[in-house]
Amino acid sequence: MPTPPRSRAQLARENRALQARLAEAERALAALRSSEQGVGDALPSNAIDIAARKHADATILRLAERLDLATRAAHMGVWDWDIQKNELVWDDRMYELYGVRRENFVGAYEAWLKGLHPDDRAASDAISAQARRGECAYDTEFRVVWPDGSIHVMKASGDVFREDDGTPLRMIGVNYDITARKNAEHAAHELLLRLQKLAAQIPGMIFQYKLRMDGSTCFPYVSPGIRTIYGIAPDAVREDAAPILQMRHPDDAEAMTDSIQESARTLTPWHHEYRIQLPDGTERWLYGDANPERDADGGTLWHGFLTDITARKQAEAALQHAMEALTGANANLERQTDELQVGAARLRAVLHEKDVLLKEIHHRVKNNLQVVISLLRLQSRHVTDAQAVEVLRNSRQRVEVMALVHELLYRTEDMAAIDATRYFQQLGTQLTQIYAVTADQITLSVAAEGIWLSLNQAVPCGMIVSELLANSLKYAFPNGQHGEIGIALRATSLAMLTLTVWDTGIGFASSADVVRPPSLGMTLVHDLVQQLHGTTVITHGAGVTVTISFPIDAVLAQATTAS
């Protein structure tokens, strides 16, 4: 069975104690031989005082018992190799260490050699040859192969005993099974290699930093990351941390020293950001994070990690610069916004004044036109000629069309355009009242949803509609006939409008009516159509339909889009 691992110092102490006990036993045997020889010379008789020999035997027995207890307690086996006879003697513990039974261990030394690992036999033979020549003591490690095939590592120590003439007689020693310790060492070595490989891949520096009692500092361990951060080798700081400390930025050195001393005094974790300056002038930001502990000599030892945070600091600086620029731009924008608001307030005030002025203008124009209408109405009362009365009524009707436009503009918010539906509806209502037509006799329909007319086009369109409706009301429904008259305005495209005025009356009485020279009203219609840059198409049959197409006014386009 394998024995628990022992340290080298413990094994050495145990070996020296065993050797001292063996030397004491040898001295006791020598004293016994001397006493027996002296007694024989002094007393030639057969009576021999064997008290000394008995005492020596008892001493040897006690030493043997102690030696056996010591070997059992130390979990080691004792061996005795007779160099001259090449005979190897083991105690019972040795058989346990080698995994064999005493009755199966035949051939002694040769059998032991066969149990050696093949790769260790040459070294063992060399040591054995030196022992035969009395040149060295025995202290080595080797592997043995157990009968079950498992490999165990042994630690063997022994010394050579010689004749008076120096001839080597025997070697006595001890063996320890250090397999468990070797396995642990191998596992620790493998773990260390893996940790070193891992440390080499970490984008930072793992370190141990030591502050000695005398104030000096060093790095007992640093990972390969020191080359990336500081550009120096790990060995350069193992005994003296000066090469690293000298790279601290002058503005950060004092604060960093204070933070380290505070961590050492209170044994609290150390967290610190600082700058370093490399020999080529490059400046870097580092962040350190470490935990301290008291060292065996009273100093302080930190275990920690160092990270290069230069990229983060540069990003923070860039972000801060951008924030400052954004803040400045925002302040400038707020100032410009305030200026625009002041300008907009002024513009609104000017526009309000303009609106008030335009309303007043439209109101006064409408009032003046109302005066003209009243004058025409009074004049018609003093005229007896029927034709003159008709002329005055037509003139009053045309002035009322213009007055209605200004009335609607006066009541409109933007005063840039008027609602065509409302305009034509009121215009038709006024005409039916003028000609005393009731709703049950003639029905008026208006279709102009969503169409707005500017001042430039509202007056001509209103006068055209007024003239055409007046003709229908006067001539299309004789003898109180019933029927329908209508007004429609629609957009045939984004740039054209079509105005249609129609009735369901008797139409033209004869073909002569078609070619008859146009009246003043129809002449006025044609002139107004030309003013609108439009065209006229007249169709008749079951009633009369007049279709006028003209381009939309720019003001009308804007008003229509806004609505």
Give the 3-state DSSP-derived string for 63-118, with helices as H, strands as E and coil as C.
HHHHHHHHHHHCCEEEEEEECCCCEEEECHHHHHHHCCCHHHCCCCHHHHHHHECH
Verify that 113 and 28 share a domain, yes or no: yes
Here the CATH number for the domain that contains residue 232 is 3.30.450.20
Domain assignment present for residue 200? The answer is no
Residues 81-106: pLDDT tens digits? 888 887 888 887 888 888 887 776 66
**Residue 252 reports pLDDT greater than 90:** yes
Q: How far apart are CA 511 and CA 562, in angstroms?
A: 47
Q: Which CATH number characterizes residue 489's domain?
A: 3.30.565.10
Note down the domain range covering 484.
418-562
Q: How confident is the model at residue 284 (pLDDT cuts 50, 70, 90)?
A: very high
Report the number of distinct structural domains present in the chain.
Answer: 3
- At 52, the pLDDT band (50, 70, 90 cuts) reads low
What angle do the packed helices 386-411 and 520-531 form, to 10 degrees?
30
Euclidean distance between CA atoms 285 and 277, whole angstroms:
9
In a domain, 370, yes or no: no
Phi and psi torsions of 537, nearest 5° = -130, 125
Residues 110 and 31 in one domain: yes
C-beta of residue 444 within 8 angstroms of C-beta of residue 433: no
User: In which band, very low, low, confident or very high, does the pLDDT at 14 lie, cut at 50, 70 and 90?
Assistant: low
Do 141 and 153 contact (CB within 8 A), yes or no? yes
Q: Report how far residue 369's alpha carbon sits from residue 363's, in angstroms, rounded to the nearest whole number.
A: 10
Residue where a domain stops, chosen among 125, 152, 185: 185
- pLDDT tens digits, one per residue of 421-476: 888 888 888 888 887 788 788 999 999 888 888 878 888 888 898 889 888 888 88
Report yes or no on 18 lying in a domain.
Answer: yes
Q: Do residue 83 and residue 164 come from a single domain? A: yes
In a domain, 380, yes or no: no
> Is residue 181 located within the same domain as residue 229?
no
Phi, psi of 416 (to 5 degrees): -100, -25
The answer to whether residue 102 sits within a structural domain is: yes
Pairwise pLDDT comparison (5 vs 496), residue with the higher score? 496
Mean pLDDT to the nearest integer, 258-265: 94
Please indicate whether residue 252 or residue 438 has the higher confidence score (pLDDT): 252
The pLDDT of 376-400, averaged and rounded, is 79
Looking at the predicted structure, is the pLDDT value of residue 290 above 90?
yes
Three-state SS letters, 339-388: HHHHHHHHHHHHHHHHHHHHHHHHHHHHHHHHHHHHHHHHHHHCCCCHHH
Do 84 and 139 lie in one domain? The reply is yes
Identify residue 45 by its one-letter amino acid code.
S
pLDDT grade for 15, boundaries at 50, 70 and 90: low
- Do 164 and 17 belong together in one domain? yes
**Amino acid found at 179:** T
My answer on whether 555 and 451 are in the same domain is: yes
Q: Return the H-helix or E-strand segment holding 318.
A: helix 310-381
- Out of 246, 276, 308, a domain closes at 308
User: Would you place residue 202 in the very low, low, confident or very high pLDDT band (cuts 50, 70, 90)?
Assistant: confident
Residue 408 included in any domain? no
- Whether 58 and 144 map to the same domain: the answer is yes
| Mean pLDDT confidence for 390-407 | 76
In a domain, 324, yes or no: no
Both 240 and 154 in a single domain?
no
Please identify, among 265, 291, 308, the residue that sits at the C-terminal boundary of a domain. 308
Do residues 444 and 476 touch, judged by C-beta distance below 8 A? no
Is 528 a member of any domain? yes
Q: Are residues 103 and 218 in the same domain?
A: no
Residues 156 and 296 in one domain: no
User: Which tens digits make up the pLDDT trace of 507-551?
Assistant: 875 544 444 456 777 888 899 899 989 999 998 877 899 999 999
233 lies in the same domain as 144:
no
CA distances to 215, 295, 516 from 265, in Å = 13, 13, 123
